[in-house]
Amino acid sequence: MSDTHAQTVPFVRDTMLPQQAPPTSQIGAVRWLRENLFSSVLNVALTVLAVGTIVWIVMHIGPWLMNSVWNANSLAECRQILAGESGACFAVIRDRWHQLMFGFYPSDLYWRPILAMVLMLVAIAPILFDKLPRKLIWFSALYPFVAFWLLWGGSLWLPLAVIGGFAVGYGAFLGLSRVTGSVLALIGAVLAAIVWWVWLAAPVSSALQSAVSLSIRPVPSRDFGGFMLSIIIGVTGIALSLPLGIMLALGRKSDMLLIKAISVGFIEFIRGVPLITLLFTASLLLNYFLPPGTSFDIILRVIIMVTLFAAAYMAEVIRGGLAALPRGQYEAADALGLDYWKAMRLIILPQALKISIPGIVNTFIGLFKDTTLVVFIGLLDPIGLSNAIRADTNWNGIYWELFIFIGVCFFIFCFGMSRYSMYLERRLKTDHR
């Protein structure tokens, strides 16, 4: 068959044809445009609509942004410079930069929050990136006390006395564990530390202070403000809400009826009410719940409320992670003979937390955004300051520039956090999909 074919066919090509250039509609930008923007009638319509939207936005905001004035001392001066044209007056940011950053913190002490901020970056670096030397973790553990002392000032002996509580507890643990079993020693250590903190720390620190004065100028909480305040509340809330959230999630999954009931009640209550009501509770009602005559710092109250609020959400996120783990993991941990805490610490939590990273970071982002709500109880966060700035005759009537600036700052923080969570997810990914 095949050889007859060879004889009957008059011409058989024995060389390849040179390759033709692809049609112009199938290469480069044209093809990309056809595929991505104009592939169907609906797509063309969508593209036109999208281009229209972008053009409309640029037409309206573009000139305003392009004509920005960065150097002026008041809105009136800005308008004079603009001479009737529309334009942004970002001079307000320049004029009130320090206020937006630090609130009414004494200007000669700005180095303290700046130093605290720089040290914070050093302290969280070893937590964020595991390639850094592990010894830095010790600095991270010490950082809260350093930051407290730098920001609020006062006697160095106070944070040292608080650290002393840990030393007292550790000493008690060592001493007791020679005498009794480890569990009793642990209980004794905790009790010793609590006794130290509640009754002994304050007198000891004031005694030491009067003996050797180690203090810097104290700054009252009402002078705190701006992004410094947001960051203080946000970072403290983030750092405290994660462990608390883990405890609540474990409590909710616990076999112990009472602990489970308390955890569920707490979580559902906190999740059921808006943060504003909790903040108002902190500012209005807390005096009712404390022994008569006591009052404590408003920023501390806010931090506690924000932490409790975020912890309830965190607990639900982590509970999701715990539930998503296959049952076999729990059984394997039991089969290895690990006790509850070891099983949790070594097997369950590392996996459950890894699964819940996106949710955890979302909670962090939500918490950081929620720090703006403190304006309602009279704290001067950036939004509170924007109201204060507008109350000044120089800047009366300025809205957009301040909102844009504050919004962009929050965007940078929150977007940074979400990108980091994606990096973390990639780094911790161990499956082979």
Partner 1 sequence: MATMPDVRKDGFRLSMLIYDTRYRSITLQVIFLGIFVIAAWWLIHNTVENLRALGKDFSFGFLTVRSGYDINQRLIEYSSDSTHARAFLVGLLNTLLVAFLACISATVVGVLAGVLRLSKNWLVARLMTVYVEAFRNIPLLIWILLIFAIMTESMPAPSAFRGENATSSMMLFDSIAVTNRGVYVPEPLFSRSLGNLDLGIFLVSLDLLAIVAVILGSVLANRKLLKTAERIQNDTGVRPVTWWKSILIFLAPLVVLKFALGFHLGLPELRGFNFADGTFLRNSLIALWFALTVYTGAFIAETVRAGIMAVSHGQTEAAAALGLRPGRIMSLVVLPQALRVIIPPMISQYLNITKNTSLALAVGYMDIRSTLGGITINQTGRELEGMLLMMLTYLVISLLISMAMNVYNASVKLKER
Please give the residue ranges that form the binding site for partner 1 (CB under 8 A).
35-37, 39, 43, 46-47, 49-51, 53-54, 181, 183-184, 255-259, 262, 268-269, 271-277, 280-281, 284-285, 287-292, 365, 369-370, 372-373, 375-376, 383, 397, 399-400, 403, 406-407, 410-411, 414-415, 418
- DSSP structural state of residue 17: P
What CA–CA distance (Å, rounded) separates 48 from 55?
A: 10
Q: Which is nearer to partner 1, 353 or 361 (CB)?
A: 361
Structure-block tokens of residue 165? 């509580």
CB 368, CB 334: distance < 8 Å: no
∠ CA 423-426-429 to the nearest 5 degrees? 145
CB of 399 to partner 1, least distance (A): 4
Structure-block tokens of residue 275? 């943060």
Q: Residue 379 carries which side chain, given as an amino acid letter? A: L
CB 382, CB 411: distance < 8 Å: no
Q: Which is nearer to partner 1, 273 or 428 (CB)?
A: 273
CB of 110 to partner 1, least distance (A): 25
Structure-block tokens of residue 371? 């720090």
Q: Which is nearer to partner 1, 14 or 255 (CB)?
A: 255
CB of 316 to partner 1, least distance (A): 9
Q: Which is nearer to partner 1, 138 or 400 (CB)?
A: 400
What CA–CA distance (Å, rounded) separates 215 from 149?
A: 9
Residue 83: alpha-carbon gap to chain centroid: 42
Beta bridge partners of 215: 155
CB of 362 to partner 1, least distance (A): 9
CB of 410 to partner 1, least distance (A): 5
CB 128, CB 140: distance < 8 Å: no
CB of 30 to partner 1, least distance (A): 14
Q: Which is nearer to partner 1, 37 or 216 (CB)?
A: 37
Q: Which is nearer to partner 1, 160 or 262 (CB)?
A: 262
**Cα-based distances in Å from 358 to 95, 238, 325, 415, 419:** 38, 14, 16, 13, 10
Structure-block tokens of residue 179? 């005498």
3-state helix, strand, coil in the chain (%, to 5): 75, 0, 20
CB of 97 to partner 1, least distance (A): 19
CB of 71 to partner 1, least distance (A): 24
Q: Which is nearer to partner 1, 347 or 398 (CB)?
A: 398
Q: Which is nearer to partner 1, 46 or 118 (CB)?
A: 46
**Cα-based distances in Å from 48 to 25, 37, 39, 44, 51:** 20, 9, 13, 6, 5
